[in-house]
Amino acid sequence: MSSFLFIFAIIMFGAGLYFAFFRWVLRYFDLKNDYYLITNQRIIIAEKSSKDIWKYKKLEEIDQVNIELNNRFFGNIIFGEPENIFGKNDEPFSLFKRRGINFDEDKYVFLSVEHIDEIIPLFEELGLKVNKTFY
């Protein structure tokens, strides 16, 4: 019985370590290998080494641009409505048939962007509604 508890504790420790640390390390390497493009027709997320386009979205499909930034103009650019952690009432995982919990990440997002203040006028010139949030 004690060996079962020891194995269970090791598994839980490994899962906690993954969610607390390793997941962000993997995310860092993904971000380091990506680059972002903005054209007059679409936004593009591509891989630096192979030049493959991972995702893109046409500008006419974007109703709003949400920008989360700090006082040094470093942060994230989310195209569309940001995902809410508490989700909606129809989320697959819900608490007491009320609000759900949303584990999805934003699909079209430029993560860890520097000098966002230089990019905001570009979105405004393209006719996109820009919402800024400082953290």
DSSP secondary structure string, 47-94?
A: ETTT--EEEEEEGGG---EEEEE-TTSEEEEEESSPPPTT--TT-SSB
CA 78 vs CA 57, 68, 98: distances in Å: 12, 8, 27
pLDDT band at 48 (very low <50, low <70, confident <90, very high): confident
* 55-73 pLDDT per residue, tens: 888 989 998 999 988 888 8
> At residue 75, does pLDDT exceed 80?
yes
Looking at the domain 34-134, which fold is it? PH-domain like (2.30.29)
Query: Which tokens is 134 given?
Result: 């400082």
Specify the pTM: 0.67
What does DSSP say about strands 130-134 and 34-38: parallel, antiparallel, or unpaired? Answer: unpaired
Q: Which helix or strand (DSSP H or E) is residue 26 part of?
A: helix 23-32
Say what the pLDDT of residue 81 is: 80
Q: Is 96 exposed, middle or buried (0-12, 13-18, 19+ CB in 10 A)?
A: exposed
Kindly calculate the radius of gyration of the chain based on its CA atoms and give it in whole angstroms: 19
Neighbours of 83 (CB within 10 A): 14
